[in-house]
Chain A
Amino acid sequence: EAGVVQSPRYKIIEKKQPVAFWCNPISGHNTLYWYRQNLGQGPELLIRYENEEAVDDSQLPKDRFSAERLKGVDSTLKIQPAELGDSAVYLCASSLATGGASPLHFGNGTRLTVT
């Protein structure tokens, strides 16, 4: 099966500019996650979707971050405006079910550099 696909792989922008990341999960996976991974740290959850509904966005900085998952498949994460501290790798993951023993399947991530 095809894995989780993310684009772009790399993005360099100047601060205050907008940026968007795209994710296509594994077919049939209803649960989609966006994580942020800072250098030297483990991934931290930003938002979780069950189909098209954002069921946990408590860690998403809503003043500048937004996300959507139209039709419960692909998802887009947006930052506007970007700040220097947003430089990180943004990982998308999907799983067959929420919770339990279902492992997460990760994409290769988008490495964002804000200058």
Chain B
Amino acid sequence: AQSVAQPEDQVNVAEGNPLTVKCTYSVSGNPYLFWYVQYPNRGLQFLLKYITGDNLVKGSYGFEAEFNKSQTSFHLKKPSALVSDSALYFCAVRPLRDYKLSFGAGTTVTVRA
């Protein structure tokens, strides 16, 4: 069975500073990896995904994520955070030969002006 760990419940950064949200995963075989963002009282919104190939993937709103197979990690990054990036972020994993998408518990990001 697959699982996702987001070791930080909360991440606080100042606007303009780099933002990193950590994610590690456990899955049999190769994974598909996803990041979603959830704003208050809204559903989850897809940010980016890793399928294969380049370990650095770029997504919406200036976000990117780095896949590291040896560390089984898929950390989300943004070089310069905005106040509007304040939200709840979820990492998710799906095995290549399975449909089941498993989510982490989420990380609350707060960007202060």
Tell me the chain A residues, 16-42 only, with Cβ under 8 Å from chain B. Answer: 31, 40-42
* Structural contact, B44 and A99, CB atoms closer than 8 A: no
Q: Which residue of B lies closest to A45 (CB)?
A: B100
User: In the complex where A42-B105, A99-B94, A101-B51 touch, is A91 in contact with B44 (Cβ < 8 A)?
Assistant: yes
Q: Number of A interface residues, CB 8 Å?
A: 26
| A103-B43 contact, Cβ under 8 Å, with A42-B90, A42-B103 | no
Which B residues between 13 and 52 are near A, CB-CB below 8 angstroms? Answer: 32, 34, 36, 41-46, 49, 51
* A40 CA / B44 CA spacing, docked (Å): 14
CA distance A12 to B108 in the complex (A): 26
A9 to B41, CA, bound (A): 9
Closest to B97 in A: A99
Q: A99-B99, A103-B49 are in contact. Are A41 and B42 (CB under 8 A)?
A: no
Interface-central residue, A31, A93, A106, by most chain B CB under 10 Å: A106
B residues within 8 A CB of A42?
A: 4, 90, 92, 103-106
Given A42-B92, A42-B105, A106-B36, 18 additional A-B pairs, CB 8 A: A6-B43, A9-B41, A40-B105, A40-B106, A43-B44, A98-B99, A99-B97, A99-B98, A100-B32, A100-B96, A101-B49, A101-B51, A104-B46, A106-B43, A106-B44, A108-B41, A108-B43, A109-B43
